[in-house]
A and B are shown apart, each in its own frame.
Chain A
Amino acid sequence: MRSDDLEALALLHDPVRRSLYAVVVAGGGDVGRGEAAEAAGVSRTLAGHHLDKLVEAGLLESGFRPQDRKGPGSGRPAKVYRRAQGERSVSLPPRDYTTLASVLADVVAELGAEERAERAARAAGAGMAAGHAGEPVERVLDARGYEPYAEGGVLRLRNCPFHVLAEEQPLLVCSVNLALCQGLLEGLGEDPARATLDPRPGECCVTLKQTDIDIEGE
């Protein structure tokens, strides 16, 4: 356990900070101080104070967005916040599953055993559905850290829970992730073909087609 990780995470004990952090993360990109304040139901000044604390701790990053109005009197560029790239984790007792997963992923890739890994992942995905019968898949994915959001009739996943490994072995890890999601759908009694790969930078590689009912409801 690194003490700066613990200190950074301890900052989120404060409910205002935690809700500001959640607002910025849910924004999926640059979120202004005013927007964050409004969504969290606090004043701009208080929001700014707490957001800057989160930047200091490395949980958020800040930048500047040029004002829409140009010319004299348009004011300074607005300060914006986004989630920081780095990961923070605290485990007691200390655990390190990433190193082990990285070693195993290298072996699978070396053996060319991707299809075997996908089969195992599909079964594991089905297992993840246990205890979630009747729940919508987005709720299960949300609880597993995928951060689903709807866009144009498709459910996209903002966060890749396997980020570090997906950077090291993208082909293997994205294929395994797709198989996990398909297995999960299967386990929930849904059509596994709802999950497909549609990767784009900075997000999870998997997307889910919305069911017909959801599309009609839009």
Chain B
Amino acid sequence: MHLAELNIAHLRAPIDSPELADFVADLEPVNAIADAAPGFVWRLKESETDPTATVVHDYGDHLLLNFSVWESLESLWNYVYRSGHLASLRRRREWFLRMAEPYMVMWWIPEGHIPSLAEGMERLERLRTQGPSPEAFTFKDSYDSSEAASRPAAAEARK
């Protein structure tokens, strides 16, 4: 099985403002690290030609979304915390507001399946309201794919 991951961030200022300029400048190199990372499968892109284009969505302009698929928890963890992405992550407070609620969710998906953004947002909502489960979890409370496979939600997704 593959791992889907959605995270949202609350922008401090509009994406085209000077406050966000360094973040926007980081988009291309940091996304390039993701694309080349071992275990990377897919990520939602707004544009194939403009690397600085962030995902356009219906959940409010103040929210920035990252939505990607990975071969394993470890491959995603290594990208997030053990690559050049970490330096960018350390500056998150300059660009994003702190969120009291969980802002990142993961769940297992059948290989070859690309989940919809709406499903991702539902998973995040589920994590926020019901806490971590094999259907919606975080690095701190993670579940391996065998735990997810035995649950009905995974069976549904396979249809």
Contact = CB atoms under 8 A, between A and B. Distances in A.
Interface of A: 112, 114, 168, 170-171, 174-175, 197-202, 205
Nearest to B79: A201
A75 to B, nearest CB: 30
B159 interface: no
Given A171-B81, A199-B81, A205 B93 contact: no
12 contacts: A114-B93, A168-B140, A170-B81, A170-B82, A170-B86, A174-B81, A197-B87, A197-B90, A198-B84, A199-B81, A201-B78, A202-B82
Contact of B82 (A112, A114, A168, A205): A205
B83 interface: yes
A171 B93 CA distance: 12
A201 B86 contact: no
Nearest to B75: A201
B89 A171 contact: yes
Interface in B41-86: 78, 80-84, 86
B75 to A, nearest CB: 9
B7 to A, nearest CB: 13
A114 B82 CA distance: 18
B86 A199 contact: yes
A5 B84 CA distance: 36
* 8 smallest beta-carbon distances between A and B, as pairs: A170-B81, A199-B82, A201-B78, A201-B82, A199-B86, A112-B98, A197-B87, A200-B82
A197 B86 CA distance: 8
Contacts of B140: 168
Contacts of A114: 93
Nearest to A198: B84
Contacts of A201: 78, 82
Contacts of A199: 81-83, 86
Contacts of B93: 112, 114
Given A112-B93, A112-B98, A168-B140, A200 B86 contact: no
- Most chain A beta-carbon neighbours within 10 Å: one of B78, B86, B87: B86
